Amino acid sequence: MERNQREAARRSPVRHGTSSANTSSRLSHGVLFIRALLSSGASDTARTVQTAASQALRLLLATGTSILIARYLQPEGRGLYAMIVAMASGAVVLGHFTVVYTQIALWKDGVLSRVLTANGLLLGLGLGSAAALCTFAVSPLVFPNRPALLLAVALASVPAVAAITNLRGILTLQARVDLVNRAILISGLINCVPLAVLAVLGHFTLSAVVVMWAVSAAVPLPLYLRALRPNLGHVTWELARRQLSLAGRHHIGVIAQYFLLWSAADVLLLNILVSSSEAGLYSVAVVVISIARVPADAVTQVVLPRQASSDVTASGVATARALRVSLLSSSVCAGLLAAASPLLVPWVFGPAYQRSVLPLAILGPGVTAYASARLAGQYLIRLGRPLSMSGITVGALVVNVVLDLLLIPSWGAAGAALSSTIAYSLLAFIEVMWFRRARASATESPEVSRLVSPSG
């Protein structure tokens, strides 16, 4: 019957004009396309849109939190908070020990999924605890004006966050980005909403901010445990030793990457060489320009399963396509933020942060370049050259620190931003060029298996 109705509809004359019918048809197809794009389907486009939306919301919540901190604590308190978070986040980087990279190298379409999951949980908790204790012990050397109790509270979350990092890697390799996105949003809500309530009640303090940061950072752990159900009986010590051996060759580069990406070296040196207030001004610039990373981070997360599981030629094609999308989207976002910052930053964060505008604009090109470096780096893991990758990143960090020492005493936050942008651009140029050569070699040579060995 429905078939006969469709036949009759096709044969009947169009009484209201063909243009109206075509417009209606196009609108219908457009609605269907948007619904398909936003659905939880398996397409990379849909996952990228969903991930970008989730990260944008998370970043919006983080920006709201940062605004509250900036307005209620002023640059001095904002600088102390930035230092505490930098120390705790650095401990997380030490604690997760780049186990995620070994998961990529050993994934092989999920054959070792259960073992890698159990190993990731145990290694994260154990190494995270050791890293937190070591960080607290050395903190007086790099953070002489530290509030010891608040730093200890922040460091208490490090073992959980290190385990979260490893388990998130497993979920990403399984293309379960919906769960990762939900956890990101829940974490952001738990951090932002209670602080907003405290601000309304007049009880907004540095202590409250640090406690909520630590709680929200650890929140995804029970969600990931429920989804993955890791069984510590699946822990394989032989594979764990292999992971630690491989990770050790990557890890120094990842530590350097952290100090570059999150401007931790800049914040530490600004606090030591100038003041906590200058570090607070710079941290606001970093928070705002970080919005430009949202599209690139979404692309990086969604393309990872293809980079890890596909053959080397398909992985190269996926990486090249993702690089183009990442570079374009990050450039547009960074340009818009830099253009709006002279009005946006003082209005949102307060007049005291007018001096954050120049560092923000200087950081824009560097953030765009770093997005390319991350994507190329995920592909280069397959080449089994961890020491070479680490050497490149450490070299970029050395450039950053040397330029910081030269520029910060005279230019303050603007000097720190310039040094980071130069280091980011250098790192991106080297890794993208290496990716292009490696991809060309993989295409031309029939012996591509040697390129994907996780050893070496």
- The predicted pLDDT at position 109 comes to 60
DSSP 153-206: HHHHTHHHHHHHHHHHHHHHHTT-HHHHHHHHHHHHHHHHHHHHHHHHHT---H
Looking at residue 48, what is its pLDDT? 67
pLDDT tens profile 382-391: 777 777 888 8
Q: Note the helical H segments in 41-112.
A: 44-96, 99-106
Q: CB-based burial of residue 31 (10 Å sphere; 0-12 exposed, 13-18 middle, 19+ buried)?
A: exposed
In Å, how far are 13, 94, 154, 396, 419 from 406, measured between CA atoms?
79, 28, 31, 15, 9
Residues 6+ apart with CB under 8 A from 257: 393
Q: How many residues does the chain have?
A: 456
Question: Following DSSP, what letter does each residue of 218-248 receive, concatenated?
Answer: HTHHHHHHHHH---GGG--HHHHHHHHHHHH
Long-range contacts of 306-314 (CB under 8 A, 24+ apart): 306/44, 307/104, 307/378, 307/379, 307/382, 308/104, 308/107, 308/173, 308/378, 308/382, 309/107, 309/108, 309/109, 309/173, 311/448, 312/382, 312/442, 312/448, 312/451, 312/452, 313/442, 313/443, 313/448
3-state secondary structure of 389: helix
What single-letter DSSP state applies at residue 356? G
Look-up: residue for tokens 């405290």? 198
- pLDDT at site 326: 87
- What is the DSSP secondary structure assignment for residue 12, as one 8-state letter? S
**What pLDDT is attached to residue 36?**
37
Buried b (16+ CB within 10 A) or exposed e, 397-434: bebbbebbeebbeebbbbbbbbbbbbbbbbbbebbbeb
The 10 Å Cβ neighbour count of residue 199 is 16
The structure tokens listed for 34 are 């948007």
Contacts of 45 (CB under 8 A, 6+ apart): 37
In this structure, are residues 325 and 301 in contact, taking their beta carbons and an 8 Å threshold? Answer: no
Q: Using CA atoms, how far apart are residues 123 and 140, in angstroms rounded to an integer?
A: 27
Residue 421, token pair as written in the block? 């942008």
pLDDT of residue 370: 86
Return the pLDDT at 378. 81
**Spatial contact of 153 and 213, defined as CB atoms under 8 Å apart:** no
pLDDT, residue 219, reads 96
Residues of the chain with pLDDT under 70: 1-45, 47-48, 109, 309-310, 443-456
